[in-house]
Structures are given as C-alpha cells and as structure tokens.
Amino acid sequence: MKIEEIIHELELWAPLPLQENYDNAGLIVGSKDEACTGLLICLDITEEVIAEAKTKKCNLIVAHHPIIFKGIKKLNGKNYVERSVIAAIKNEIAIYAIHTNLDNVIDGVNEAIAKKLELQNCKILLPKNNLLKKLVTFCPIENTETVKDALFAAGAGNIGNYSECSFNVEGIGTFKGNEESQPTIGKKGVRQNENETRIEVIFPTYQQDKILKNLKKHHPYEEVAYYISSLDNEWQESGSGLVGELKETLTESELCNLLKNKFNLSVIRHSRFLNKKVKKIALCGGSGFFLLPNAIASGADVYITGDVKYHEFFDADGRILLADIGHYESEQFTIELLAEFLQNKYPNFAVRKTEINTNSVHYFI
C-alpha cells in the first residue's frame, strides 16, 4: 500500500480545504508515491518521535500539529524543527499533518473530547459559512434518476443527518444544434422541445470538480447545461468548537473533578466559580479562546479549552465558567481518534501510537 492511499482516506474524512488559512496541514515531508512500511501517530513531531518511527520501521508519521508552520530558508539543524525535518529526510520518513481540518469536522478532535465527557446533542459551536454551493442542471425526464445518482455519488445533496437531498421540477427545455453538433436527442439544425427535469442540489465547495466530472460523465446531452451559485448558509457539518449537554447536572466542583479524572489533569486554570449548576458545555481543543463569545451566546454554562492568557479570564465576566485544561491535555485523545480511524480502514496494517509524551508544558505540584 502506498502512502498516497492513506492520505486519500484521511482527506476524505478531513478535507484539506477545511483547514484555516494560517495552517500547514497535508504532506510536509516525503513522497506520497512510496510504499508504506508502517504508520506512527502522534500529536507533535520531535526528534524523539522520528527516532521512534525509525525503530518501529514506520516510514510514515501522521501528526496532528504540523512540524512546519512558516517558511524555512535554511536547514542547518539550529532548532528542533530543522533537526526533526533533517532526521525525517535522512531516514526516508514521510510526515503528514492533519490539523485544523480535523478540528473543523464534526466527528474530529472536538468530538473526541465530547465523547470523554459523554456529551449529548452535540453541535458545531461556530459553523463555517461560504463553504456551500448550489448546482442547478437540466436533463431529460427519463434520465433524472441516473443524473441524480451521479451527483449524490460525488458528494452532493448532503444536509445534516440527511443524504440524497434535491429539489426537482419538470418543464420543457429547447435547443437546436449547429452543423458541428452531435446531438444524442433530436436532429442538428432542428429545434428540439424536450420534457426535462430541473435538478437542484447543494454541495461543499471543495467537491465541485468531482461533482461536475460525474455530472458530465452520466448526463446524456453532448453539451450539459448547468449553473453554480455560492451560498451564504452556515454549514453545520464543519466549523470550530462543539457544544453539548452533560447526561446529568453537576456542580462546578464536580465538573472540575470530572475533567481531572477524564483528562488526567494535575491542575485546571479557571475563572471564578459562579456557584451555579452546570449542564451545557462548550469546548474547543487546543487554543480556543477566540470562541468565548460564541460559547456565551450558545447559553453554555462552561467553556473548556486551552492556552488562555491571564487577562482573557476577565472576559468570562461572570457570564460563564472558563476552564483552561491545557493545549496538549485537550487534544491528547486525537491520537486515539486517528488510530481508531486508520485501524478500521486498514485492520491488517501496522498502525502504531507513539509512546512518547510530547507535552512541552510541565507542572511542579
């Protein structure tokens, strides 16, 4: 199996176009055309992780955090990033990062956190917009189901928990081919009146090429009439953070103890207790302070994230309990998430989880 096949499955799950514009997800080091001898999963790339991959005969590392965020002008080993990249190249180890694109899918990093807390009725906290488009096309009535099947197979027509969604209306289309045409219906030089179906479907922007390719492949006409328009709709399948409900109401102290137990925490930094019960929980793995206004607007009692600065705790302002459980600590289960996904896809292939704790923050208790 080539590395390309593994990347293909990962990007079907968390498409690269869903990453934030500052990110650097994707294949960072190595060739996708190489055969994969083994796969190691981690949160962070370090020299120790590269050595571990070499020892375990894994020539592909799938990491959550990209080892390279900004451009590198020189590779002379002056810091851990350069040394890690050099070691990967020397040992022919490919590095693939699946970062904010995995954060931004509903069954990604934040769902892994929510599952540990057994949250129910989960929704994206800040859905992305401007990611959806609408396709309108026309085909002979007798070809309607064939064309719709082709569109659905390419990824069109998904809305929340529903698939194969479309709007259809029948009418009469007209066309007349010139002398260069090769009409499949009617005759060149003669206007054809055809009973047609107008089909409308929505789809994620990044699937446009695949959808148009499938449309043209299965449409009976020599020239396929269609138009595409962009939508302002929020897309509930993709976005930042998650909000859900605990199975039972807890006190603020009980919630903190739950967090300590579930995430193996030695400390939780938080804003002042509001002395009220908590039920609705908003969360975001990693550095998620930017979502605090959304967490408050959602009606959440608590917002859980990492990397909150001192003055940012003031912004909770008595409206919500803000809990910082740590960047690494909030994302640690991403390793399990990736391992489970890849083991299900490749049950007979060597998918390994790193044994190295790459958390760069330590606490003296």
Token digits of residue 43: 């949160």
Our CA dihedral for 120, 23, 16, 355, rounded to 10 degrees, sits at: -70
* Mean pLDDT value of segment 159-183: 95
* pTM for this model (two decimals): 0.91
How high is the pLDDT of residue 70? 85
User: pLDDT at position 71, please?
Assistant: 85
- Render pLDDT for 235-253 as a digit per residue (tens, 0 to 9): 989 999 999 999 999 999 9
pLDDT of residue 344: 95
**pLDDT of amino acid 196:** 97
For residue 146, pLDDT beyond 90: yes
Q: What is the model's pLDDT at position 136?
A: 98
Over residues 28-85, the pLDDT tens digits come to 999 999 999 999 999 999 999 999 999 999 999 999 999 999 888 999 999 999 999 9
| pLDDT computed for residue 365 by the predictor | 82
Q: Beta strand 226-231 with 132-140: parallel, antiparallel or unpaired? A: antiparallel
203-221, pLDDT tens digit by residue? 999 999 999 999 999 999 9
| Whether pLDDT at 160 is above 90 | no
Predicted pLDDT at 282: 98
pLDDT of residue 246: 98
Average pLDDT over residues 283-302: 98
**Mind listing the pLDDT tens digit for each residue in 315-347?**
999 999 999 999 999 999 999 999 999 999 999
Q: What percent of the chain has pLDDT over 90?
A: 95
> What confidence tier does 230 reach under pLDDT thresholds 50, 70, 90?
very high
Segment 189-213 mean pLDDT: 96
- Taking each helix axis from N to C end, the angle separating 334-345 and 109-116, rounded to the nearest 10 degrees, works out to 110
pLDDT per residue as tens digits for the range 299-311: 999 999 999 999 9
Cα angle, residue 218 at apex, residues 214 and 224 outer, rounded to 5°: 85
Calpha distance 56→40 (Å, rounded):
8
User: What is the model's pLDDT at position 161?
Assistant: 87
